[in-house]
Structure 1
Amino acid sequence: MPQFPLLFARRAALAALVFLVWAGPASASDSGPVIEQIRAQGHIVIGHRESSVPFSYLGPDKRPIGYAVDVCRRLAAAVQARLALPALPIEYLQLTPANRIEMIETGRAQLECGSTTNNAERREKVAFTIPHFITGARMLVKVNSGIDRIDQPEVKRVAVTRNTTPLAAVRRIQAERGLRFEIVETEDHEKAVQMVERGEAQAFVMDDVLLYGLASTRSDPKALKVVGRFITTEPLAIMLPKGDPAFKKIIDDEMRRLIFSREIHAIYQRWFEQPIPPNGQPLNLPISYLLRDFWKYPTDQVP
């Protein structure tokens, strides 16, 4: 019988133990601009989104909830423990796709807990930790529209959220294929969904997991459907400021601990396989083989 599963299990257990040992008391090396900012202000600021279901959105009580928000709360607890702080309150700052990078780059928030793609262009301005999800962009359309391809002549207007990777992909596809649809940029996902519902756009292009989540929150979830081939591949990760290796190490170490201990699996199941607010509808999206394979050797370096 092959020994690879057993060997991998032993390696994973050893790695988890190593990370637990590393997460010891604060030392002189635990300093840097982000860490000193947190110490000085006495709290950590987590940036969240309004409608990135199920990653980061406002619950029925208007407080931020979601998969990425829960992960960020674990990261904040790790920062408190590593810096030996008696307490580290969390302050939440609502961000948009248009301003999220600027808010992290300028230090308004120390963590961005949403659905942001880790790519080379963004890494010029900000840092990322290990991806917590891998997805791809597809289309949200009306269930009776007959649309399942972006190049169909029925597609006259395509809504895409501003300052997102799917927007660049749609522009590229339009130019390469000579397609004549109009691209409408929206400030957030909610406005794009509303455009499809009202017939102001025939399709909304965004990460498919977000589209499933957004559709589940509508008054009639069955009126919309996700269609089409993947336009992009998107490794989603928590964003943090550049220039503080000590802070990034705390975050990366905790992400690896969550993965190797499988704690992140329970968080994932809570948001993707069980009923979630506001309508109590489950997304029924088990962990993909892409994410499972990526988590075997977790790294923040992605293509």
Structure 2
Amino acid sequence: MKISSSITTALLIAGLVNIAPTASAQTLKKVADSNKITVSYREAAVPFSYLLGSTKAVGFSVELAEAIVDDVRKKVKKPHLAVAYMPVTSQNRIPLLVNGTYDLECGSTTNNSTRGKDVSFAISHFYTGTRVLTKKTSGVKNYADLAKKTVASTAGSTNEQVIRKYSAEKNLDMQFVLGKDYDDALQLVENDRATALALDDILLFGLRANSRNPASLEVVGDMLQVEPYGCMLRKDDPEFKKLVDGTIARMMKSGEFTRLYNKWFMAPIPPKGMVLNLPMSEQLRANLKALSDKPAQ
């Protein structure tokens, strides 16, 4: 997956400034007229979407997006439809989708009612919840051990909101520092600027697997909140949502989704050949039949 050189830092900055909706909600017409679809990716959301080297994004969600793009090609009758790829962060992924900078996000984004005011979500493709990653030498085994300690998360994530709320409710007086992306947030722990990193547990396992010293890190604490992941698309676009949901539903019914899941969660993954060994959750198994896009509570 080659990253389009036409997407520049200036474009990202412009997108962040201009967050008002400027693109037609009719994504398929937009794609057909331009003969191009733009898909986002995350740079360090292992195993969903992450860079392999400096020019190729890979992962479970990346392959979901590729299957959706194949169905878009058939729908708009453009077998040579161009595909551009661009990186997004927790902070800019929604504004840049809303204003039309890109057309589809399949990554590690939680579907919740707050985000549902601005974007739509496809059928949920994963379920997870907030936990914390810390050094084994930190002595942290649960959230109470983080009282008055510095905790990292990523700006604009639901995890930041969840851990701040938990700290306030339990009167733990945690201090917070925010990374711009997952790798940046991990470095805060590795460099001892934070005692722990609060993120979705699957992301923590992925970050640990590809960290400088995986054996020095551990994921601790109970799951604070169960959250569904879903591919994001613009609101008020029933035609495109029907196509995206149709692709995912077909894969879930045919067994293709399960094979893809096993490839990324139960088998060695690049670049180090680590195995996450994370069997499909009960919630996700149920959703292979329910095909729900229900947001987190």
Q: Which residue of 1 aligns with 2:34?
A: 41
Residues 100-133 of structure 1 show CA distances to partners (whole Å, capped at 9, x for unaligned) of: 0111111111111210000111010001101111
What does residue 118 of structure 2 align with?
Answer: 125
For residues 167 and 216 of structure 1, the distance between their equivalents in structure 2, rounded to whole angstroms, comes to 22
Contact 1:140 1:204 in 2 (8 A): yes
SS of the equivalent of 1:151 reads: helix
Matches of 1:96 and 1:261, distance apart in 2: 32
Distance 1:207 1:123 in 2: 19
The answer on whether the counterparts of 2:129 and 2:223 sit within 8 Å (CA) in structure 1 is yes
Q: Which moved more, 1:81-90 or 1:233-242?
A: 81-90
Q: 2:264, 2:81 → 1: CA distance?
A: 25
Question: How many Å separate the matches in 1 of 2:195 and 2:110?
Answer: 25
The RMSD of aligned alpha carbons is 1.5
Match of 1:9 in 2: none
Counterpart position of 2:78: 85
Structure 2: how far apart are the matches of 1:153 and 1:79?
47
The alpha-carbon distance between structure 1 residues 225 and 155, as it changes in their structure 2 partners (threshold 3 A), is: farther
Amino acid at match of 1:40: D
Deviation at 1:83, TM superposition (A): 2.1
Corresponding residue number in structure 1 for 2:136: 143
CA distance in 2, matches of 1:42, 1:198: 45
Aligned to 2:163: 170
What code does the residue aligned with 2:155 have? Answer: R
CA distance in structure 1 between the partners assigned to 2:208 and 2:175 by the alignment: 23
In structure 2, C-alpha distance between the alignment counterparts of 1:281 and 1:213, rounded to whole Å: 9
Alignment of 1:282-297 (within 5 A): 282-297=275-290
1:226 to 211, 219, 222: 219
Shift in Å at residue 32 of structure 1?
6.2
Question: CA offsets per residue over residues 243-301 of structure 1, 9 Å max, x none?
Answer: 21111111111111010011011111111111111111111111111210122211212
Asked which structure has the greater CA Rg, the reply is 1
**One-letter amino acid of the structure 2 residue matched with residue 57 of structure 1:** Y
Q: Is the 8 A contact 2:147 2:173 kept in 1?
A: no
Partners of 2:120 and 2:232 within 8 A in 1: yes
Counterpart in 1 of 2:93? 100
Identity %: 37
Q: Deviations over 1:30-78 (max 9, x none)?
A: x962111101221111110110011011012531111000000001101
Q: Which amino acid aligns with 1:47?
A: S
2:165 maps to a residue whose letter is R
Deviates more, 1:253-262 or 1:172-181: 172-181
Do residues 247 (structure 1) and 240 (structure 2) align?
Answer: yes
SS in 2 for 1:117: coil
| Structure 2 residues not aligned, in runs of 5+ | 1-23
Q: Structure 2 length as normaliser, TM-score?
A: 0.89
- CA distance 1:224–1:153, change in 2 (3 Å): closer
- Aligned match of 2:105: 112
Matched residue type, 1:265: T
Match of 1:136, SS? strand
Find the aligned partners of 2:211 and 2:156 in 1 and give their Cα distance.
Answer: 24
Contact 1:105–1:241 (CA under 8 A) maintained in structure 2: yes
**Structure 1 residue 140 displacement after superposition:** 0.2
For residue 215 of structure 1, what is the amino acid of its counterpart?
A: R
Partner residue in 1 for 2:207:
214
How many residues are aligned here? 273
Q: Which amino acid aligns with 1:240?
A: L
Structure 1, unpaired ranges of 5+: 1-30
Mapped contact 1:155–1:202 kept (Cα < 8 A): no
Q: Does 1:64 align with 2:24?
A: no
Tell me the distance in 2 between the aligned counterparts of 1:173 and 1:288: 24
- Cα offset for 1:153? 5.2
- Return the alpha-carbon distance in structure 2 between the equivalents of residues 115 and 234 of structure 1: 10
In 1: Cα distance, 2:186 partner to 2:54 partner: 22
Q: Judging changes above 3 Å, is the alpha-carbon distance between structure 1 residues 194 and 155 closer, same or farther for their aligned structure 2 residues? A: farther
Q: 1:229 to 1:118 in 2, by over 3 A?
A: same
**8 Å CA contact retained: 1:148, 1:227:** yes
Q: 1:222 to 1:155 in 2, by over 3 A?
A: farther
Provide TM-score, normalisation by structure 1: 0.87
Q: Aligned partners of 1:136, 1:194: CA distance in 2, in Å?
A: 21
